[in-house]
């Protein structure tokens, strides 16, 4: 009887120490956030904890490529050294058709900074995209003009 209790306790401890106790694919069945703001919040949380495979669920194909490269770069670092906590202090999103541009004021353990997120709606789901260099340098008004349907004919 004592051995069953010990084995049961060890099994429970191993199960409770898993990264995802519901199962590795349980998060795939959960509904994804689907507004630019909620997608960014969840994406940033995944990035902070180095859960690149989960951040990829909220990324365009180009974004997934970038995450793959980032995961390879960080693979050599001790896991605890790359986990951070980012606060989103302010977020201002502008949406034109199926593209959103969100200027965010972020703060982590080291500094406060601005970051631009570009999102694209693909098959009804908002996904984080890799902003092009031109996107970062455009003012909000210039970006809206460039994205408006009358200028894309």
Q: Is 69 contained in some domain?
A: yes
The answer, yes or no, to whether residue 2 has pLDDT greater than 60, is no
| 6 within domain boundaries | no
Res. 3 pLDDT band, cuts 50 70 90: very low
Structural domain that includes position 110: 33-151
Residue 130 within any structural domain of the chain: yes
> CATH no. for residue 103?
3.10.450.100
Whether residue 17 lies inside any domain: the answer is no
How many whole angstroms separate alpha carbon 129 and alpha carbon 61?
A: 8
95-115 residue pLDDT tens: 999 999 999 999 998 999 999
pLDDT in tens, 44-99: 999 998 899 999 999 999 999 999 998 888 887 776 666 789 999 999 999 999 99
Q: Report the pLDDT value the prediction gives residue 147, as an integer from 0 to 100.
A: 57
Question: Is residue 12 a part of any domain in this protein?
Answer: no
Number of domain units in the chain: 1
Report if residue 23 sits inside a domain.
no
- Residue 81's pLDDT is 63
82 part of a folded domain? yes
Per-residue confidence (pLDDT) for residue 104, from 0 to 100:
96
Burial pattern 29-64, b for ≥16 Cβ within 10 A else e, equals eeeebeebbebbbbbbebbbbbbbebbbbbbbeebb
For 86, the token pair is: 């980012």
pLDDT of res. 13 = 39
∠ CA(135), CA(90), CA(128), 5° rounding?
A: 45
**How much is the pLDDT for 26?**
52
129 in a structural domain: yes
pLDDT in tens, 122-152: 999 999 999 887 655 555 566 456 655 555 4
């Amino acid at each position: 009887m004592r051995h069953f209790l010990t084995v049961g306790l060890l099994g429970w401890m191993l199960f409770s120490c898993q990264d995802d106790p519901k199962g590795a694919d349980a998060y795939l069945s959960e509904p994804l956030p689907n507004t630019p703001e909620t997608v960014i919040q969840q994406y940033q949380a995944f990035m902070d904890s180095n859960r690149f495979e989960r951040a990829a669920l909220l990324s365009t194909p180009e974004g997934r490529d970038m995450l793959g490269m980032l995961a390879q770069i960080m693979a050599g670092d001790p896991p605890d050294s790359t986990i951070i906590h980012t606060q989103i202090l302010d977020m201002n999103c502008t949406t034109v058709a199926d593209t959103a541009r969100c200027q965010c004021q972020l703060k982590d353990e080291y500094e406060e900074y601005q970051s631009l997120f570009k999102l694209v709606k693909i098959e009804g789901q908002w996904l984080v995209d890799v902003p092009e260099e031109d996107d970062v340098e455009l003012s909000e008004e210039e970006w809206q003009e460039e994205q408006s349907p009358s200028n894309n004919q």
